[in-house]
Every structure is written in structure tokens, then in C-alpha cells.
Amino acid sequence: MSIIPVRVVPDPVLRQKSKRVRSIDNSIHRLIDDMLETMHSAGGVGLAAPQVGTLLRVIVIGIPGEEDFALINPEVVKGTGERLVEEGCLSIPGYVGQVKRSEQVKVKGLSPNGKVRQIKAEELLAQALEHEIDHLNGVLYIDYLENMDKLRKIEVDESQPM
Ligand code: CO
């Protein structure tokens, strides 16, 4: 496993659309291992492959107190409700902003073993899933801010960036 430098704005790779994974081979498993290690070393609760420079539809999630997992080709099947949350991103270090996220999401994807996995999530997990899946489409949370004044500068360890 190795830690990969996290791409930060305005790196153009963050704005590209990632491709679907066609076969889950060793290179995908290695990518997932590296992403998990990178996420932990950066103190994040989630990470998407484009953030480590790989334009493939792979995300990892590590909510404190819960088991880490990876999801391949994830999709939000349904989002319900709306809530205002403060959000940070490992690719936008030193800032947080308030955005609207779903209260509950239903997400579908593949586990690293190739099995279909459906997840019903709320709270931080729902937020992280929406955030990471946005990354696969070149979308960053700052895109949802009315204006850049809504960004707040923070000390680095004040948030749980994604
Ligand atoms: Co992010």
C-alpha cells in the first residue's frame, strides 16, 4: 500500500468525469488499498479516485467508528429530504462551506469482490456518499455555494474532509 498525494483545486483532473470500471482486477484492488491508506493519512472520511489522479469510478468511505468500505461504479439511486450541512474536501484544504444534502440516500454499486451492494444511508454516511459520487462526475461541493463568501477558512483539523 502507498500514500498518494491528493490532488487539490484547481487541478483539472478534479473536473473530469471518471470512467466506469469494466473489470475488477488487481489494479483496482491496489487502487482501493492505496486510497484507503491515503484517506486515513489525510484524516478524511471519504475519498474518490480522481482525487488521487485516477479517473475511474471508485470511492472509499471511512466513517469514524464504522468499518471502511470501497464501492465501485456507485450511483445514487434515490435521495430524499434536504438538510444543510457543513462540508469540507481533501481537495480544498483549509475551508468548509454550507451545502444542502439529502437526509437519506439509497446508493448502489459493486463491492471489491464484484457483488452488487445496496446501501441505505443517512447523516454523515449519506453526505459522504453524495460527496464522493459527485467527485466521479467532476463536481465539487463549492459548486453548490451561492457565492465564495459562503466558504469559511478553518484550521486543518477542525473538520472531517471528504
Ligand atoms: Co472531496
SS3 19: strand
> For the structural domain made of 12-153, what CATH number should be given?
3.90.45.10
User: Which value, in Å, is the radius of gyration of the alpha carbons in the chain?
Assistant: 15
132 is catalytic: yes
| Domain assignments of the chain as residue spans, ordered by start | 12-153
Catalytic residue among 132, 146, 155, 158: 132
Residue ranges near ligand 1 (ion) with Cβ within 5 Å: 89, 162
Distance 25 CA to ligand 1 centre (A): 25
Q: What percent of the chain has pLDDT over 90?
A: 91
Q: How many CA atoms lie within 13 A of 109 on its CB side?
A: 26
Residue 56 has pLDDT above 70, yes or no: yes
* Backbone torsion region of residue 91, taken as left when φ is above 0, otherwise alpha when ψ lies between -120 and 50, otherwise beta: alpha
- For residues 98 and 84, what is the distance between their CA atoms, to the nearest angstrom? 6
pLDDT tens-digit readout, 22-48 = 999 999 999 999 999 999 999 999 999
pTM of the model: 0.96
**Assigned C-alpha cell, 133:** 459520487
